[in-house]
Structure 1
Amino acid sequence: MARPLVALGASDPSAVLRGLEAALAGGPALLPVAEDAPALPTAPPSHVEQRVALVVETSGSTGTGKRVALSSDAVLAGAAAADATLGGPGAWLLALPTHYIAGLNVLTRSITAGTTPVVLPVGHFDPAAFADAVDRLDVGPAAPRRYTSLVPVQLARVLDDPRAIAAAATLDAVLVGGQATPVPLRERARAAGVRVVTTYGASETSGGCVYDGVPLGPVRAAVDDGELLLAGPVLAEGYLGDDERTARTFTERDGLRWYRTGDAGQVEDGRVRVLGRLDDVVISGGEKVPLGAVERIVRGIAGQESAVVTRRASAEWGEVPVVVTERSLDLDTVRAVVGDALGRAARPADVVVVDRLPMLASGKPDRRAVRTIADPAS
């Protein structure tokens, strides 16, 4: 049995909220679409399997396009587990695009809590507008808490503005995800009295399902040959029109269905540590250098919380790490810091300073564009 799939422009969060509410209640499945997003090679189908309620279309920052199919059960399981971990339902401030799973999760949690989200304008993140929006968050007896969800660059801008800091400090939690949150940024937030909860997940897991390194209640984490795997009721059904990718990404193990994240990771004493993308490795002078590990070290340097480490072809070494940043950074300093932590081969070969890093609408760095900046011939 099939149900209709309705594509809806994500520029109107109120319309997406209504469409999502209908989809979760058994109505037509919803596909939120960004108006400026590049079209995937195939048009979306007009109908999907009955159990699919939400389709998230994403190209990611480095990969190829995909349509992730999620059931109502998966989306609602993620919302319930998050509420249980955070301390209960509440009112939400929406600061993220609604064609990405993080923004859709804000809407889902508002629906289940019976609250109306306060919506920030899409586009450039304005700390003053953020502070105003926090003031408008209404709570009630059934949902007495207040939350928002940001990406690290948004949090950094909040922490640069005294009024925004004061507003953020009144929230019960500020979820931060979409990419690794640098330790100095988390420390700044804690020092300012902002309760930051770091999240990890993907569209394939109905969004963030690991909070502060701990899997949410029904979620399980494991490692297989260095790759982080996640299991639980939050998992997607698969990818629309791509059975091969579905079979490759979702696997059966130990009687459970698991999602292969593509991330290198560790699970120790129930805590998850993400080490970076498995495919994000350069061979420099014959040695493997994980760019994610280099980037974490660079982002630990004061003022470099949003720096990106990418690759550049080298006639001498094969490939080398390169730092692309909005703030000046002494090359000798960063080479020394990275070399001490990861060895000589990991030392960046160059620092490229730009006026503004290219970003995706999700708030993540556009890594393909960053690589072109570092290596125009790539």
Structure 2
Amino acid sequence: MSDPTVIGRELGTAELPEAIDRALAGASILVLPATRSGAVTEADPRLWTGAGRSPALILFTSGSTGKPKAVALSAEALTASERATERFLSGPGDWHLCLPVNHIAGFQVELRARLAGRAPVRAASAKFTADSFAAEVETLVERAGARPTYTSLVPTQLHRILEDARSTRAAAQITHILLGGAAISPALLDRADEAGLNIVRTYGMSETAGGCVYDGVPFDEVDITITEAGTIDLRGPVVADTYVEISADGRAITPVASTALTVDARGRRVMHTSDLGRLDDGVLSVLGRADDIIVSGGTNVSPHALETGLLPSWQREGVAEMLVTWVPDDEWGKKIVALVRPTDGRELAADETPREFARRLGGLDHGMRGQLLPQLVFTVDEIPSRSIGKPDRKAAAELAAKLAGGSGV
């Protein structure tokens, strides 16, 4: 997707903090680029064609379930999210930024840092490495003094950190590490806990100004309900006002009605997600996306459930990360496939076919009896993902089909 062509001034990184002030005050609209390589644009609020005050921020969804949508967040939604984060954690502190700012998670680090009174320690390179992370965090901790320290990561980054001793020691010095953006393996959390990292699992999306559920508990003033279809609805002040369209000439920003964003009888904004969830005594468990379900041989298979259930036992065999996908099959319709990335330095299935590898891993003590397991397992150098670290299931299915064709299975 190309970047939006909204008329406005492109901002450099150093200009963003003061631009955030203007946007929150209603003096401008910040438009995040649709791609990581684009620039943040500061637009005139008079471009807004909707009723009421113009939004403070417009950003694009990850597009994981189709074409990315432009989301409009108010100053009130952004501020409510930032203040709730401070209340949940340890108050205003110093932030480390290693996520792209075109996504809500990266922008929120800039916002939280600005409202906490000090610019974040920003990653010097667009490519995340364990070495660069360790150096940046050492700077962060030294600068912060008695103030709490925070960073926000996606699971792929945490995997890299835990495979390096220096970066693991640095991460253990951070007061709270927010972890979200993709499904989180219990095995990954166990490794982080053993290393002394203080992880806070987050759940949210562009339409909720980022994470609004921490460790399964919603922010104050955010309510969670599970629909009859098993999907998650989120209500509260952090929810976006609307989706928008930017005109072809970049001179108009217009609200677009959607059944995904509504207002309830009490006037609260509601985000109707496609995520499956369960509430146990008020604590939310996210079970994967309804539209990710794979129907194989007439049975519904949740990739998320397989990934979280199998990875702890598979990691003992040298698997660092995995992603479950499918390939077309005459008998099954869709055959279940796992793509796995080895732990650094490990060699997997050197003398096994993908089918034999799957049979061996499937026979481990993983507690997933009675469920369809991957019938093929392929080793890959990298798990297909989008820029924020979310699994790219479309790319994974394409890669699996290519690997299956090449291996003759």
* Gap change, CA 1:71 and 1:140, over 3 Å in 2: farther
Q: CA deviation at 1:212?
A: 0.7
Work out the CA distance in 1 between the residues paired with 2:269 and 2:369.
Answer: 35
- Who is 1:28 aligned against? 28
Work out the CA distance in 1 between the residues paired with 2:336 and 2:13.
Answer: 39
Structure 1 outlier segments of 4+, above 6 Å: 242-245
Over the aligned positions, Cα root-mean-square deviation in angstroms equals 2.7
Aligned partners of 1:321 and 1:349 also within 8 Å: yes
Q: CA deviation at 1:354?
A: 1.5
Of the structure 1 ranges 331-340 and 60-69, higher mean CA displacement relative to structure 2 is found in: 331-340
1:326 aligns with 2:366: no
Work out the CA distance in 2 between the residues paired with 1:224 and 1:7.
Answer: 43
Aligned partners of 1:16 and 1:98 also within 8 Å: no
- What does the per-residue CA deviation read over 1:63-87, in whole Å, with 9 as the maximum and x for residues that have no partner? 2111011001001100100110002
Aligned partners of 1:96 and 1:122 also within 8 Å: no
Aligned partners of 2:358 and 2:377 also within 8 Å: yes
Aligned partners of 1:92 and 1:118 also within 8 Å: yes
- Who is 2:207 aligned against? 204
* Gap change, CA 1:192 and 1:339, over 3 Å in 2: closer
- Who is 2:251 aligned against? none
- What does the per-residue CA deviation read over 1:200-242, in whole Å, with 9 as the maximum and x for residues that have no partner? 0000000001111111112111100201111110000121039
Amino acid in structure 2 at the alignment position of 1:314 = D
Amino acid in structure 1 at the alignment position of 2:124 = P
Of the structure 1 ranges 87-96 and 13-22, higher mean CA displacement relative to structure 2 is found in: 13-22
- Who is 2:375 aligned against? 349
The higher radius of gyration belongs to 2
Work out the CA distance in 1 between the residues paired with 2:25 and 2:65.
Answer: 34
* Gap change, CA 1:254 and 1:349, over 3 Å in 2: farther
* Selected match of 2:323 from 305, 308, 325: 308
Work out the CA distance in 2 between the residues paired with 1:19 and 1:313.
Answer: 49
1:248 aligns with 2:277: no
* Gap change, CA 1:74 and 1:119, over 3 Å in 2: same
Amino acid in structure 2 at the alignment position of 1:237 = D
Work out the CA distance in 1 between the residues paired with 2:238 and 2:78.
Answer: 6
* Selected match of 2:279 from 267, 283, 288: 267
Q: Within 5 Å, which residues of 2 pair with 1:2-81?
A: 6=8, 8=10, 12-33=12-33, 47-48=47-48, 49=50, 50-81=53-84
Amino acid in structure 1 at the alignment position of 2:338 = V
Aligned partners of 2:58 and 2:70 also within 8 Å: yes
1:227 aligns with 2:242: no
SS in 2 for 1:79: helix
Work out the CA distance in 2 between the residues paired with 1:114 and 1:373.
Answer: 45
Work out the CA distance in 1 between the residues paired with 2:167 and 2:361.
Answer: 31
Of the structure 1 ranges 252-261 and 364-373, higher mean CA displacement relative to structure 2 is found in: 252-261
SS in 2 for 1:306: strand
- What does the per-residue CA deviation read over 1:103-126, in whole Å, with 9 as the maximum and x for residues that have no partner? 011011001100110001343211
Q: Within 5 Å, which residues of 2 pair with 1:83-122?
A: 83-122=86-125
Work out the CA distance in 2 between the residues paired with 1:351 and 1:167.
Answer: 34
- Who is 2:187 aligned against? 184
- TM-score of the superposed pair, with normalisation by structure 2: 0.82
Of the structure 1 ranges 151-160 and 236-245, higher mean CA displacement relative to structure 2 is found in: 236-245
Aligned partners of 2:34 and 2:60 also within 8 Å: no
Work out the CA distance in 1 between the residues paired with 2:327 and 2:61.
Answer: 26
- TM-score of the superposed pair, with normalisation by structure 1: 0.88
1:257 aligns with 2:269: yes
Work out the CA distance in 1 between the residues paired with 2:377 and 2:308.
Answer: 15
Amino acid in structure 2 at the alignment position of 1:139 = A
* Selected match of 1:374 from 383, 400, 407: 400
- What does the per-residue CA deviation read over 1:293-320, in whole Å, with 9 as the maximum and x for residues that have no partner? 1222233331545311112211101112
- What does the per-residue CA deviation read over 1:295-354, in whole Å, with 9 as the maximum and x for residues that have no partner? 22233331545311112211101112211122236311333459952634x211211211
1:169 aligns with 2:172: yes
Work out the CA distance in 2 between the residues paired with 1:18 and 1:361.
Answer: 26
- Who is 1:362 aligned against? 388
1:156 aligns with 2:159: yes
Of the structure 1 ranges 254-263 and 280-289, higher mean CA displacement relative to structure 2 is found in: 254-263
Gaps of 5+ in 1: 39-44
SS in 1 for 2:374: coil
Work out the CA distance in 1 between the residues paired with 2:320 and 2:238.
Answer: 30
Amino acid in structure 2 at the alignment position of 1:356 = E
- Who is 2:241 aligned against? 237
- What does the per-residue CA deviation read over 1:19-75, in whole Å, with 9 as the maximum and x for residues that have no partner? 33321232210112155679xxxxxx9822433010111343342111011001001
* Selected match of 1:195 from 198, 214, 229: 198
Work out the CA distance in 1 between the residues paired with 2:123 and 2:401.
Answer: 35
Gaps of 5+ in 2: 1-5, 39-44, 247-253, 343-347, 350-356
Aligned partners of 1:54 and 1:71 also within 8 Å: yes
Aligned partners of 2:151 and 2:177 also within 8 Å: yes
* Gap change, CA 1:358 and 1:252, over 3 Å in 2: same
Of the structure 1 ranges 57-66 and 316-325, higher mean CA displacement relative to structure 2 is found in: 57-66
SS in 1 for 2:259: helix
Aligned partners of 2:130 and 2:167 also within 8 Å: yes
Amino acid in structure 2 at the alignment position of 1:293 = A
